Amino acid sequence: MSPSYDVIVLGLGGMGSAAAHHLSARGARVLGLEKFGPVHSHGSSHGGSRITRQSYFEDPAYVPLLLRAYELYEELEQATGREIATLCGGVMVGRPDSRTVAGSLLSAERWNLPHDLLDAAEIRRRFPTLSPKDDEVALYEARAGLVRPENTVAAHLQLATRRGADLHYEEPVTRWEPYRDGVRVHTPENTYTASQLVICPGAWAPRLLDDLGVPFTIERQIMYWFQPHGGTARFDPAHHPIYIWEDATGSQVYGFPAIDGPALGAKVAFFRKGTACTPETIDRTVHDHEVAAMADRMSRHIPALPGRFLKAATCMYSNTPDEHFVIARHPAHPDNVTVACGFSGHGFKFVPVVGEILADLALTGTTAHPIELFDPRRLAAAPAV
């Protein structure tokens, strides 16, 4: 049996890489175990960009975590020299009573976040690429923007390695169990022991956390890249914001500026509207009818955008029934196991602060960050959706 570690981190995607960094920065002896290679595209932490925003329509309780995440993203950029965050501004568009607009406004007002409310005419004036209906409005947030998922994961892995973390790739965990006053983790290559285990399983949560009592559902999602009519000049970050756009049915789409030049165009996607899958059964092929549905929807909001389809990629949402996260000590193993999962399609912007929280919980058993909303016991009797 290999030497014991202070903490084993299971999964080195967004949350796990951040946990490995924060734990090793505090002097813990860390082993990180990853099923795939570093910065892989088999889970959820890929695709070139993720939206970040502070006027959070999901719940005002997330805002303090976002404020800290912004600080940590800046620190990460300074420590590694990697491009992480681009705050190009963002609009949350829909009818005034839509969740996207009303929920964003609630968070902005509760936390005194700078914002502007724009009517349809003002949206068109400020952002000529956007074509709202006359009854649609937007909350504009100057500090919204995007983060780079691959760069973020790579930066956290870089810093964890610099601090002495032992990171193993292509080494999947087959099972884990309590062992003496700690935990034991099995892989095809070895068995490891540690005082603490941090589990960041992504879409593999239903298998690795089957005793958590949370009815996770895994959902296939698609990201699309289109070359706009007339090229990408009008869609660069200086002119075109990130956006989440809710229509009258409650369906949301989201998108980005053209951040990687003409070759990759601009990225768009549906927010949810996925299909149930598992990591083993996910259909990685993007079909013509799916591309057509995305192009049709975007043509209503941004007529110049779906000029030419360039590419698409799949990823997975790991959903909880209420779409809030799970971040806590494991209720059945509260002394030695910490979990972070069920990020439900809106978790990546929190990556650095979740890493900080996981280090707190693993090393001290508690955290000063407000995470009461994310207790898994709220979902123990909830049906899967």
Question: Which residues participate in the annotated binding site for FAD?
Answer: 6-36
- How many CA atoms, within 13 angstroms, populate the side-chain half-sphere of residue 23? 35
Between CA 258 and CA 207 the distance in angstroms is 37
| Token couple for 55 | 């006027």
| Residue set of the binding site | 6-36
- For residue 3, the 8-state DSSP code is P
Between CA 14 and CA 90 the distance in angstroms is 23
Between CA 260 and CA 171 the distance in angstroms is 33
Between CA 40 and CA 287 the distance in angstroms is 23
Between CA 52 and CA 347 the distance in angstroms is 10
| Token couple for 277 | 């899958």
Between CA 61 and CA 93 the distance in angstroms is 21
